[in-house]
Amino acid sequence: MHGVGLSLGGTDPLSNPYLAQLKALVHWAKPEVVSDHICFASVDGSYGHDLWPMPHCEESISHLASRIAQVQETIGRRLAVENVSSYVSFQSSTMTEWEFVGELVRRADCDLLLDVNNVYVSAHNHGFSAAEYLSAIPYERVVQIHLAGHTRENGYLLDNHGAMVSEAVLDLFRAVAMKCPEARVIVEWDEKVPPFEKLLEEVHRVEQSTQVESP
């Protein structure tokens, strides 16, 4: 079960009606993973239906960790949180995104949904190394991996979930998959969705990308 509406990083109180419905749905569906994003999505009660990035600092970590604890306590299960792609950064950030994500999941004692395309997109947009980011991830906490396509606009990469997974992202994924072989992999494609056969082809392409070639 993958959510976009918890607004874990927001300053509005977590929505009790939302949490109650989430708890009921989780108990009914018994999903393998329950996840949402490391972001804020509402301000003063208005939801933006988007995943806005957090400043990477101690204050964000303690704020997010206490809200993740509240969610985990309410639903009676571990939550996996996902790294988002971003197009802005904050002057108040005091650490790298990978330091922030690693420290957050340790402090919140939650799981990580690692979106490899989001790492690649943000690395390009902010000029950091995706490989350095991925080398610092606590892989024992990764329960799910996301892959997706992106587009290029005015020199920036946009995570639009509307294209095939790029070869560069597949290269990163190969290394990631070896570090957490138990993690389930999802290819996200929810814009310009092609015929089902094309989606299946993409799943097979991703599956084959991790197969070791025989000599």
Question: Does 115 help bind Fe ion (rule: CB under 5 A)?
Answer: yes
Closest CA to 186 of 113, 124, 135, 136: 113
**Residue 50 beta carbon to Fe ion: minimum distance, rounded to whole angstroms:** 13
In terms of CB distance, is 44 or 190 closer to Fe ion?
Answer: 190
Q: Kindly tell me which residue out of 56, 67, 141, 146 binds Fe ion, with binding defined by CB under 5 A.
A: 146
36 binds Fe ion (CB under 5 A): no
Ranked by CB distance to Fe ion, the top (closest) residue is 146
State which residue, 65 or 145, has the beta carbon closest to Fe ion: 145
Q: Which is nearer to Fe ion, 27 or 126 (CB)?
A: 126
* Max Cα-Cα span within the chain: 60
Query: Residues 187, 188, 189, CA angle at the centre, nearest 5°?
Result: 115
Nearest residue (CB) to Fe ion, 57 versus 158: 158
Positive or negative torsion for Cα 93, 95, 101, 104: negative
Q: Which of 69, 79, 15, 73 is nearest to 42 (CA)?
A: 15
Binding site for Fe ion (CB under 5 A): 115, 146
